[in-house]
């Protein structure tokens, strides 16, 4: 959160009445209020002469088809007045359309579970791949067979790359722990995915030793995005 706090501190003295401040970072539910409201309330009356919004970033870096304007934008505001204005502003930019959430907390939660859900699904197939390897079963062949059913979600085992997915679930875990709830599934998924690099490295070494292979190892996908 230090990056958001630093940015807020840098712009605070430039904030004026009747302006709207919109946060786009992925955060835990309630973070926008925790970060901004207390200090802003000393200078303004939020909802009357100053407005707050939350509209999470949805972007797929390097994707030439799903550009910013072609991805539905979640919007929200501190009250119905600001929420509608914020939604109208984004509607002028986003060709794919917008979705106005009933509250900032709902929008915050919706964004952070997008990546957490993906993390959990990948962790499931990663755990399967570990078990199947012990049973001499090809995981990719299993997924290929299972995918013949129309509603099967075909996630592939592998390393969870990029900035978001490896980080965002911790925001949820943090908030859940703050309210006294133990996030069992989210924490377990993170533990599985965090340990996959060691697992794959071990598998490579086993294969090299078994087949008496020599030479160098080529690592692909290290940069997260192509080129």
pLDDT of residue 69: 93
pLDDT of residue 120: 95
First to last CA, the chain: 30
What are the catalytic residues? 164
Render pLDDT for 2-34 as a digit per residue (tens, 0 to 9).
Answer: 999 999 999 999 999 999 999 999 999 999 999
pLDDT of residue 203: 84
Model confidence pTM above 0.75: yes
Helices 184-194 and 196-210, axial angle in degrees (round to 10) = 40
* Helices marked H in the chain: 2-11, 31-32, 38-40, 80-91, 104-134, 139-146, 168-178, 184-194, 196-210
Dihedral sign, CA of 181, 128, 122, 209? Answer: positive
165 contacts 115 by C-beta, under 8 angstroms? yes
pLDDT of residue 60: 80
**Splitting the chain (227 residues) into consecutive groups of 10 residues, what average pLDDT does each group show?**
95 96 95 95 94 92 88 96 96 96 97 93 95 94 96 91 84 93 94 91 85 79 70
pLDDT of residue 227: 67
User: CA 17 to CA 86: how far, in whole Å?
Assistant: 16
Single out the residue of 172, 183, 173, 181 nearest to residue 27, CA to CA: 172
Nearby residues of 25 by Cβ (< 8 Å), 6 or more positions away = 3, 4, 56, 57
Render pLDDT for 93-108 as a digit per residue (tens, 0 to 9).
Answer: 999 999 999 999 999 9
User: CA 26 to CA 89: how far, in whole Å?
Assistant: 20
């Amino acid at each position: 959160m230090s990056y958001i706090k630093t940015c807020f501190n840098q712009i605070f003295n430039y904030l004026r009445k009747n302006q709207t401040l919109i946060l786009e970072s992925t955060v835990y539910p309630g973070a926008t209020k925790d970060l901004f409201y207390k200090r802003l309330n000393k200078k303004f009356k939020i909802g009357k002469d100053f407005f707050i919004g939350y509209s999470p970033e949805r972007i797929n870096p390097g994707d030439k088809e799903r550009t910013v304007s072609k991805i539905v934008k979640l919007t929200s505001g501190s009250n119905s007045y600001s929420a509608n204005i914020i939604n109208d502003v984004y509607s002028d930019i986003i060709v794919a359309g917008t979705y106005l959430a009933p509250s900032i907390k709902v929008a915050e939660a919706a964004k952070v579970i997008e990546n957490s859900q993906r993390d959990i699904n990948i962790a499931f197939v990663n755990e399967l791949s570990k078990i199947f390897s012990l049973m001499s079963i090809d995981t990719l062949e299993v997924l290929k067979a299972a995918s013949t059913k129309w509603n099967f979600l075909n996630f592939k085992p592998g390393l969870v790359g990029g900035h978001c997915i490896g980080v965002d679930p911790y925001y949820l875990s943090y908030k859940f722990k703050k309210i006294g709830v133990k996030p069992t599934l989210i924490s377990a998924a993170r533990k599985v995915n965090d340990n996959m690099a060691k697992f794959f490295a071990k598998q490579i070494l086993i294969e090299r030793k078994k087949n008496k292979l020599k030479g160098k190892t080529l690592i692909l996908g290290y940069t997260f995005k192509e080129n």
